[in-house]
Structure formats: structure tokens, C-alpha cells
Structure 1
């Protein structure tokens, strides 16, 4: 963030000096995730568009095409993204560049899913997955990211069992890498649980997604979709005011980072808003919407997790802990610190802290001491 002006100066210079054009293309492409995560999606696309207008055929052009396609997908503009990603894939094949091909296919597969071209999506994603398992794959595109997209594809096809299988594989691998991408996978698991009317499991996954997003500082880009899913959950549980407030918060945060929701998510939000307005009346609905839209990232997360801190639904949600969380709860019964938990379970202190916070959410509790008392009552005593 502190270097934004320096990046702008470097990119502007590369447009003026032909000898610096390739460096500018590579810089702009490498900044794609920064543009997205920090709310500069429109500006990032504008830089890439200007650079691509002058770019000759080569790897740098391919990287910029793929990066621009990625940002356009995040802006909800798949039609504009399509020719860029198709050119990126073709160029990667012509160059024999497996690294460029790997992530270009991933984005093209995502685009095919949005167009409901399921055959094209399968082909692109399965090839991308195979490439991630080769040595040539870029380090920032591990297999679990493609497994996630294969899960989305299965979900679109209505095959929820296969979707869950892909998501769970992705989540296990992401957890092993301690990657904040876990929050993205947890959101989808929450949605599938809602599809199956398992609202307790849905809330568990969505709460954890918010906690991971908060802890990793992912900000509004990862929080807005989770809030949208929680808004649907509140609708299903007949809480229209909370549903509308969360929906408005999701919309407000998306506006902040200049992105539109995918069509399916947009349709879900519209259903939430329409249902809530019908139940609340225009005045109350307007107030709830205004309140939600004005929430900051931190306020939106706190509001969304309010059910957990008040011990309402979360008390039901948290009655079942994961095997790892059960181990952590048992250690807390002996008043273990995060350092001691990390040492005992061979995990990082940050991971130990996250497990404790997830347990607090699931059990609807406020302190480690409450977890310790609960663990003793359940007979969860750690071995010496």
C-alpha cells in the first residue's frame, strides 16, 4: 500500500520508454492480486489495458493478459475477460510455457463455469490441476486452488457430494499450508450445507470463514461473500432484519473493492433483499439496509458473529468440534497456552490461536476458561 505511488510512476514510465515496456507488463501482472485485494481493481485493469495495447508477443504479454482476465472476472465482467484469457492460453501453448498455461487455464475454467460451459470448464480445470502437480507449476498456484474450482463446477452441476469432496480436499491442503484461502473454501462448504438444509453446519463453516478472513487480514474481498451467504442463512432462519443488514454490508464491501458478485451470488442477494422487504415493510427495511451498508469491515464481521457471542445459534452450532479442535479443547482443560498447544500438536502458535477462536465461536463462549470447564464436563482431558 505504501508503494502505490512508486508503482504508478514505474508503470507510467514504462509506457513512455519502449525499453521498459516488458518490465512494466511484468510489474503490472505481478500486482494483479494486490490490485484486487486492496481495492484497486479498476485502476489495475486500466494499467494492464494500456500496456497490452503496446505489448508484443511474448511471455510478458501472456502474463498481462492472464492478470487482466483475472481482474475482469473479479469485477464481474466475464464477457470482456474471455478473449484475453483465450489469447493467454493460446500464447502459453505456443511458447511451451507451462507456468503461464497453468494459471491461465484456471481462470479460463472459472470463466467457463460462469458461462455454464461445463465441458470447457472440465477440460480447462482438469488440465490446470495436472499442471499444478508438475515441477513447472508456479508456487503461488498449489493444487488446492484448482480443486476448489472443480468443487464449484460440481456444485453448478448439482453434484453436491462431489463438490464437498473437492472442497474438503482443498481445505485439508490449504490448512496444511496455513493459507488464508481456507476462508474461500469454507464459504462454499457453508453454501452446500445450506443447499442441503443443514443450517447448523452451514453456520459453523461460515463463522469460521469470517474468523479466518479477519485473522489473515484479507479484508472486504473475502468477507463480502461470506456475509452474503450468512444473509441467506438468516433468511432461512426467519431473521429478516439481520438478513437485510448483512446483505447490505456485503454489497457495501464489494463496492469498496470495485467488484460485482457472480450472477448466482447476485441472485441470492436479490432474493434476500426482496424477502426481507416484504416481511419488514419499507421503512424498517430501509433502516436495516442503511445500517448494513455503512458498516466497516471490522463492524460487519462483529455484527455477523454477534449470534456466536450471544450464544444463540452458535450454542447449537458448536456442539460438534473437529478432531483437531477436540484435541485443543482437551489441552485447554489443562489451562495450556497457545505456545504449549502449538508445541504439543506440532502446529504454529497462529494456528493454535485460530483453533481456540473457532472453538469459542462454535460453543458460543467468550473465554478460554469457559472452554476448559466445558472440556472437563465432557471428559476431554489431555494425556500427560
Structure 2
């Protein structure tokens, strides 16, 4: 196929978002002779969508230089925008800043260039990363009205950034309206693929932060369809999409699917550019391991999140608390709350602070529950109201006022069920059961606790299931006598071969027993099975000696 035919093939593949075909055709044409700048930009975007970010960076540098030398300042600034974002995702912040400065110098040669607004979007993003939300809003207010732009990416990006700035400056309703407006542009198909991925990720992320779960689910379903239509989309934004999907799957109770998505996100985001977001993937994976009682795996994933620049709190403090390190967990929550002033970011921390400080017995939990209730009252999101009711009810129950605990707890349970968040609904059910027990209504307590037990069992929430079994006097091992023997030897570090020899079994039979044990305990590794067995008394710790 001659060069011109390859270029036409590449353009056609690009137009239907067949990224691999577009990349290969344009690469073949480029190998014969350098592409012109318009095709070079298509080549760069295809590389970006395929996760070949190193290649995309090189191509965008070339496109920027070619546009600048030809006097096409606006097109050069657009290339600079995507180049700076790619470099930042790769953790190359110094290079990203240098290219932004270079682009600003170029913009001075053509005052009034509409694409100068791209550089304003980058400035706003820098303020956002630094938590300088007031400065971010000032930058956004200086940007031209999005409707005045003939560039769909610039218009949608401006709307998205304005929405994010308004949300983080307390104007939630106006901010959400802007974010929804940006999503309308995505739904209409007027923006580029990479801009579509960016907007999806930012909007769904903002919805998670605001606890706007219904909105997040709606946009996430739309995102899933968009991703399914282009199976070779594997770039940075695909990894981010997987993180959001894992979070929603976790909330919805599909924990094995959530683990799969989180692991895929970890793999994608550590394979090249995307290191700046990989911490979020490891954090989500750590949370899932923690909820399932896989504490060693959880600890490793939290450490991976930290190594990628992600704050591992409050999950790490909850893990420490679950492992009995109450004082360490409480100290971590006091420290991180003292550092965090933004109300929306505090809502991520306050429920964990209430839970940890109640178990610590320090008496500080009530003030944090009241703060969460006040934020929920101001912002109004159903999930925030559920979190607040759960926290306030838990505090009142701990204070010995069970009757006063029941109204906020029942309201929290209703909201979690409406939002289809079964794990939190079950946790509230345990508190309702304990409140009923404190009021001598043992019949209702038994019903509430049994309903929670069934949910925890279905989810694979081992630690919560064990707690309910202790509360109801029904704690027993889910393992058969033979499986108890096998897990005891697994806990001592024995191999399948050694276990087979000791129990006079075939290795195939031992392997089957180990597989059954992992399934029954809801864990994924021998180490996690041993830890679970120790933690839940299935195997006494002195067997290790």
C-alpha cells in the first residue's frame, strides 16, 4: 500500500476510533516520510489513546514546533495543552512546567489568540492540585465564555474546569450544573476522544468526592458503553475510568469485579505515563482487601499507593484499627484532619475518624459526627446524609442513648438501601440491632443482626461477618474438620507437598482443599487465609510456635 493510501486508511480508522489501526497506518506512512502537522496530531492522539504516551509526547513536541514555526500559534497552544497534561501524568512536572512557560512566551507573539485559554486551563489545574481553590476560581473567571469558542475541546474543558472550581469554592449546585453541561458536550460527540476521556474522569471523580452517587452511577454507565465501543483504548484515562468503575462496583457490592478492575487499573497506570494516578488504583485495591479481611494484601497495596504519591488515609488508619493498633490509628486521623481544611475533602475522613475514635474511647468522635452532619445539611447529597446519620447514630449508641440513636440510624439505612450500597446498609443494620438490644428488644435485634450477617456473607466481608457472629453467639468456622487441619498447616507455612505427606493425602486433594478454603474465607492467597485463620480464631496463634 502506498504512502497516501496508508494516510487515508489511518484517517478513516481514526474517525471510527479504531486506535490500533490508525496508529499502525500512520506509523507506516511516517516511516517513509514525515507526516504533515495535521496528521501528526492524529498520530499523537491515537498513541495517547493506546497508552503509548512516550510516543505521544515525542509526536506532540514535533507538532508544537511545526505549528510554532509556521506561525499557527493557536494550534501550537492546543498541542502544548495535551503535551503538558501527558508530562504531568507521567510525573514529569518540571518538564510540564517548562513547556507551559514556553507556550506562554509563544502566545505573547499573537495577543488575543483564542487558544490562549488552553494555558489558563493548565494554570487552573496547577492551583487545583495545590489545593488553592480561590486562586483557581480567579483564573477560571478570567477565561473567555465557553460558548464563544469555536474549538469544542476548549469549550468543554473550560466548562468542566469552571464546574470544578465552583464546587471546590462551595457553590455546589452551580458547579454540578457546569459539570453536567460538560457531559452534554461529551454525549453529543463533539469533542475529541482524549477530551471525552478526561471529562468523564473528572466529572465522575467530582461526583464521588461530593458523594453524588446517583450522578456518578449514571455517568459511569455511559462511560462503560463508550469504553466498550473502543476495546483498544488503554491510555491514562482508561486507567482512571477503571478506578472509578472499581469504586462503584465496590459500593454496589460486586467486590470480585471491583478487585479485577482495580488490578487492571494498577497495571495500566504503572505501565507508562499515568504514574500520577496509579496511587488511586492501589488505594482502591487496598480498600477492597481490607473489607475482605485480607490484611497483609491490604497493607502492601496501601504502601504501593503511598509510593505513587497518594495519601493512604483514611483506609490505612482503618486497617491499623482493625489490627488492634487503636492509638496509632487515632493519631493518624487527628493528624490528617488537622491538615485538611476543605469541607468536601474532610467528608472522606470524618466517617473513619468517628469509627476509629469511638473504638479508641477518646470522646472526640461526637464533634466529628456533628461536623459531618452540618456538612451534609449544607450540601444535601443523599450519601452524605446517610454517612452523617450513621455517624451520629453510632455516637449516640456509644453514649448510651440508644433510643436517640435509632432515628438517624434508620434514616441512614433507608438512604443506603435507596442508593444500592449494601455494605454500608448492613453496617447500619448492626448498629440498629445493637440499639434494639440495648432497649431490651431482643427479637428485633436478632432480625437486624441476621439480615446484616447474610449481607456480609454474600459480600465476602469477613471481619464484619465474624463480628456479627460473635454478637449473636453463632460464631463458628466455615471450614470442615479436614479443611481446619489443612489451614492450620498452611498457617505454619507448609507447602502442598508437605501437607499431603503429613495428612496422607494426594497433592491434588490438598490443592482442592486449599482452593475450597480460599473460597469459603473469601480470600485470594495462602497468606491471607493464614491471617484470616489467626484473626478469627480458626487456628490459634500459638500453633505458630
Q: TM-score range by the shorter chain?
A: 0.5 to 0.7
Match of 2:346 among 182, 192, 199: 182
1:154 to 317, 320, 338: 320
Are 2:373 and 1:210 aligned?
yes
Matches within 5 A, 1:138-149: 143=311, 146-149=312-315
- Measured in 1, the distance between the counterparts of 2:334 and 2:273 equals 32
Instruction: Say which of 197, 222, 228 aligns to 1:53.
Output: 228
Instruction: Please give the per-residue CA displacement for 1:288-310, whole angstroms capped at 9, x wherever unaligned.
Output: xxxxxxxxxxxxxxxxxxxxxxx
1:168, 1:236 → 2: CA distance? 20
Contact 1:65 1:87 in 2 (8 A): yes
d(CA) in 2 for partners of 1:281 and 1:123? 42
Corresponding residue of 1:225: 387
From the superposition, tell whether residues 43 and 183 of structure 1 become closer, same or farther in structure 2 (CA, over 3 Å). Answer: closer
User: Where does 1:226-305 land on structure 2 (aligned, <5 Å)?
Assistant: 226-255=388-417, 257-262=419-424, 265-266=427-428, 268-272=430-434, 274-275=436-437, 279=441
Residue 2 of structure 1 and its aligned partner are, at CA, apart by 2.6
Q: How many residue pairs end up in the alignment?
A: 266
1:23: which partner in 2?
Answer: 195
Shift of residue 263, structure 1, vs aligned partner:
7.7
The separation in 2 between residues aligned to 1:125 and 1:105, in whole angstroms, is 7
Residues 1:87 and 2:264 are matched in the alignment: yes
What is the correspondence of 1:363-374 to structure 2 with a 5 Å cutoff?
Answer: none
Q: In the superposition, relative to structure 1, how do residues 8 and 201 fare at CA in structure 2: closer, same or farther (>3 Å)?
A: closer
Alpha-carbon distance in 2 for matches of 1:115, 1:165: 24
Alpha-carbon distance in 2 for matches of 1:266, 1:60:
35
With over 3 angstroms needed to count, the CA separation of the structure-2 counterparts of 1:63 and 1:75, relative to structure 1, is: same
**Kindly tell me: are residues 6 and 213 of structure 1, through their superposed partners in 2, closer, same or farther at Cα, counting changes over 3 Å?**
closer
1:65 is displaced (CA, Å) by 1.0
Contiguous gaps of at least 5 residues in structure 1 = 133-140, 283-384
Look at both structures and tell me which one has the larger radius of gyration over its CA atoms: 2
Provide TM-score, normalisation by structure 2: 0.43
* Structure 2 CA distance for partners of 1:4 and 1:101, relative to 1, 3 Å: closer
| Post-superposition CA distance 1:190-222 (Å, at most 9, x none) | 222322445x4332332233234445x363323
Check conservation: 2:321, 2:329, Cα contact below 8 A.
Answer: yes
Structure 1 Cα separation of the partners of residues 197 and 401 of structure 2 = 49
Alignment of 1:284-363 (within 5 A): none
Aligned to 2:531: none
CA distance in 2, matches of 1:121, 1:247: 29
- Mapped to 1, the partners of 2:229 and 2:381 lie a distance apart of 34
Identify which of structures 1 and 2 has the higher relative contact order when contacts are C-alpha pairs closer than 8 Å and 6+ apart.
Answer: 1
Distance 1:263 1:122 in 2: 26
Query: How far did 1:47 drift?
Result: 1.4
- Tell me whether 1:99 sits opposite 2:276 in the alignment: yes
Counterpart CA distance in 1 for 2:429 and 2:293 is: 16
CA 1:259 to 1:28, structure 2 compared with 1: closer, same or farther past 3 Å?
farther
CA distance in 1, matches of 2:303, 2:322: 16
Aligned to 1:180, what secondary structure does the other structure show?
Answer: helix
CA distance in 2, matches of 1:193, 1:9: 43
Pairing partner for 2:335 from 169, 178, 185? 169
Q: Distance in 2 between matches of 1:183 and 1:111?
A: 20
Q: Is the 8 A contact 1:183 1:208 kept in 2?
A: no
Aligned counterparts of 2:409 and 2:390: Cα–Cα separation in 1: 5
Distance of 1:165 and 1:92 partners within structure 2: 32
Distance apart, 1:8 and its partner CA:
5.0
Distance 1:267 1:161, change over 3 A: farther
**TM-score normalised by length of structure 1:** 0.60
Distance 1:264 1:85 in 2: 23
The alpha-carbon deviation at position 88 of structure 1 amounts to: 0.7
Residue in structure 1 matched with residue 215 of structure 2 by the alignment: 40
Q: Which of residues 180, 185, 194 is equivalent to 1:10?
A: 185
Q: CA RMSD in A?
A: 3.2
Q: Does structure 1 conserve the Cα–Cα contact (< 8 Å) formed by 2:286 and 2:297?
A: yes
Q: Secondary structure in 2 aligned to 1:95?
A: coil
Structure 1 residues 214, 35: CA separation in 2 closer, same or farther (over 3 Å shift)? Answer: same
Give secondary structure in 2 for the equivalent of 1:50.
helix
- Secondary structure class of the residue paired with 2:354: helix
CA distance in 2, matches of 1:59, 1:244: 45
TM-aligned CA deviation for residue 246 of structure 1 = 0.9
Task: Give, in whole Å, the separation in 2 of the partners of 1:53 and 1:111.
Answer: 24
